[in-house]
Amino acid sequence: MSTLARRLQPIYAPLLHPKHSPRIQCALRGNQPKCTRQFHASASTLDLAYDLHDNGGKATGAPILILHGLFGSRKNNRSISKALARDLSRPIYAIDLRNHGDSAHDKEHNYTVLAEDTEAFLKKHDLKDATLIGHSMGAKTVMTIALRNPECCANIIAVDNAPVDAALASDFPKYVEGMRRVEEGKVRSQKEADKILEPYAPDLPVRQFLLTNLIRPSPSEPLKFRIPVRTLANALDDMADFPFNDPDQARFNRPALFVRGTRSHYVSDETLPIIGRFFPRFELVDVESGHWVISENPEGFRKAVVEFLQEQE
């Protein structure tokens, strides 16, 4: 790996993480009962919208799936998908997760159902030896898939998130409130929407990102968000959780790359021991960016992914 990478040996510190804590505390002792998380099967999986980037048919290697973060869509990953298809000669499936982009909506939104949808996508399209890449919400989704069903992918790349229960940044509830205000305002233009959203999302790039979800259902109707804002607002606690909390019961022994932004708090040094227990073959790369690694530093992210995957060949 490049000089930005730190190859870490497996870490088996006897640690678990309490819900919504940025620290890993709670040691396992003696013969105490193991902590387990109950899984439930959803009533049905949803078909996922996607774009296939295959470098004009020249990309014929093992497939790569790339999953966006909360409030995002496959369109956010269009440029990086094209670049990776070209550099790696591998087809890239950029996916819209449920309740995002052009995929179907459902009131249930947690990492178990997100994983089930993606596993069904892999099966439907007969995708073998896939690499799963995910940012933020997508990162926890690919981690969940890897721990639920280690045989369904060759390796994973988790971008700026860790396999812990940890509170989301306080910005996310503000974004939701701002989007609600936009819809209540029955705005007719992006400019109106931006003005309403500004107090809730002061950074222009963030507002532009959120407003990519704004659509006009018909010429006579006001603008509205194509994502189900209320459903996702109700899912914020689930997005902070992680559905595994015992590395002795679930472990992914295949290669895993964790990419974190140098100015982001989502993958602190304190989370590294638990990452090492769930993913004993993990590597870590720091990319100069905040939480939005792929959009803030696409070249740094591209280099990290290409070097990691070329090592696996």
Q: Which residues are catalytic?
A: 136, 291
How much is the pLDDT for 171?
Answer: 86
Q: State the chain's mean pLDDT as an integer.
A: 87
| Mean pLDDT to the nearest integer, 204-213 | 93
Query: Closest Cα partner for 267 from 143, 161, 170?
Result: 161
pLDDT at 312 over 60: yes
4: buried, middle or exposed (CB in 10 Å: 19+, 13-18, 0-12)? middle
For 5-21+42-165+242-312, CATH number out of 3.40.50.300, 3.40.50.1820, 3.30.413.10, 3.90.850.10 equals 3.40.50.1820
Q: What's the pTM value of the predicted model, to 2 decimals?
A: 0.86
| Mean pLDDT to the nearest integer, 85-111 | 97
DSSP 100-131: STTSPP-S--SHHHHHHHHHHHHHHTT--S-E
Question: pLDDT for 228-243, tens place per residue?
Answer: 999 999 999 999 999 9
pLDDT at 119 over 60: yes
Dihedral sign for Cα atoms in the order 97, 99, 104, 110: positive
pLDDT at 74 over 70: yes
How much is the pLDDT for 44?
Answer: 85
Domain ranges across the chain: 5-21+42-165+242-312, 171-234
Question: pLDDT for 218-274, tens place per residue?
Answer: 999 999 999 999 999 999 999 999 999 999 999 999 999 999 999 999 999 999 999
Cα dihedral value 117, 176, 295, 285, nearest 10: -70
